[in-house]
Amino acid sequence: MVTFVDIYEESLNKSGEELCGDKVKIFRTDSKASIVLSDGLGSGVKANILSTLTTEIISTMLKADIPLKDVIDTVLNTLPICKIRKIAYATFTIIEIDLKTNKFKVINFDNPPIFFVKNGRIQFLKYDIIEILNKKITFTEGQLDRGDFLAAISDGVLYAGMGVTLNFGWGWDEIANYLEGILITHSVSAKNIVSEIINKTYSLYKGNIGDDATVVGVYLRKRNGLILFSGPPTDSSKDNFYVKKVLDFDGKRVICGGTTANIVATYLGEVVETLIPTMTKEVPPIGRLSEVDLITEGIITISKCIEYLKESDGEISRLPFKIDGAVMLAKELLRADYIYFLIGLSINSYYQNPLLPKNISIRKNLILELAEILKDKHKEIKIEYC
């Protein structure tokens, strides 16, 4: 069974501050996923700038495959030291996950220890401490299996509830116990787990957030795949080959485009059923075939879907509360972890801009824009042209 490294982060700003002093940077390559969490000293604009600087330096160097020791050395040499408190202006946690083996390593500088939950129970990992520029850095390694959860937090999470009825904050052990409860009873995604912790943190602060609080979580679970077939292939003799590829896909199957849908219908020996009640002034109706999860019109619907994704910032709960093909397409894409675009390049002259070179189709450009939006939401993307 194909697994997916599900990553999600969420923050609370200190009360009265427009900017969060914590910063998280997440990026993936074909071989690894990397997470950088930085907590800037203080709060507001200054803390935001410092944490942003820290995450950008680290992530840029990691993308260039620079050795971790050199990355840490560069960051510690770059960050200034507070003259009063004699500490660095920003702390950081780095998590790297090998996407082939699901092995992980964590490098931590002055942030709270990580949380690692396996089989519903907190695991205490061995760690090594080394000194770089007189700063203690901890190194931890481990193995993620399906159902495991790994999390890093900023210290604002630990401070939740401090001073309330002699409470000294929501300690590491209390958070660990709370995580165990979530993982044992109900865990569907990294977002669900992280949001539970953030909501509990907010309630302990009683709405008066005393410090920026961030949780970034990694949850290994079954991958939700989706294939999107749009546009007839340039070689019509291969229509059946590509339709079979769609129907053999292990996951959701989506068709965008009337001509494309008819190609699939012919293969199945069916006729596309048009669902007129789903038609709106802006978006054509969806269709139905027995082996396909969603059928929409092509160019217009994809364009509207992109608009909805931008307006909602990729949050399902912020999509328009209505039923049309573009909303339904956006929901399916956001629910998927891995999206395989199978794009036919036979150009429909009705949609082709005569001022563009003949080899540039509106459909192809829309798919590229859509793919970039989804990559920003940490989706795994593959595009095949046919």
Give tens-digit pLDDT for 219-257: 999 889 999 999 999 888 999 999 999 999 999 999 999
User: Quick check: do 3-222 and 225-385 share a fold?
Assistant: no
User: What is the Cα–Cα distance from 135 to 18, expressed in whole angstroms?
Assistant: 31
Phi then psi dihedrals of residue 115, to 5 deg: -115, 130
**pLDDT at residue number 130:** 85
**pLDDT at residue number 358:** 45
With respect to CATH, is domain 3-222 assigned 3.30.565.10? no
Contacts of 106 (CB under 8 A, 6+ apart): 93, 94, 95, 96, 114, 138, 139, 140, 141, 142, 150, 152
Average pLDDT of the segment spanning 311-316: 91
Q: Evaluate whether 4 touches 179 at the Cβ level (below 8 Å).
A: no
Residue 348, pLDDT above cutoff 70: no
H-run or E-run covering 273: strand 273-275
Residue 42, pLDDT above cutoff 80: no
What is the band of 359 on the pLDDT scale with cuts at 50, 70, 90?
A: very low
Is 0.85 topped by the overall pTM? no
Instruction: Collapse the DSSP code of 189 into the 3-class scheme (helix H, G, I; strand E, B; otherwise coil) and give the result.
Output: coil
Residue at 326: amino acid letter: A
Mean pLDDT of the chain: 87
Q: What is the pLDDT of residues 50-62, one digit of tens each?
A: 888 889 998 888 8
User: What is the Cα–Cα distance from 225 to 335, expressed in whole angstroms?
Assistant: 9
CATH class of the domain comprising 225-385: alpha beta
Residue 357, pLDDT above cutoff 60: no
User: What is the Cα–Cα distance from 272 to 284, expressed in whole angstroms?
Assistant: 14
Cα end-to-end span (Å), the chain: 28
Residue 166, pLDDT above cutoff 50: no
DSSP 81: B
What is the band of 349 on the pLDDT scale with cuts at 50, 70, 90?
A: low
Token representation of residue 245: 């590829």
Q: What residue spans define the domains of the chain? A: 3-222, 225-385
Q: Evaluate whether 133 touches 78 at the Cβ level (below 8 Å).
A: no
Residue at 298: amino acid letter: G
Contacts 24+ apart (CB under 8 A), 167-174: 167/204, 170/200, 170/201, 170/204, 172/112, 172/113
Average pLDDT of the segment spanning 313-332: 91
More confident of the two residues 83 and 118: 118
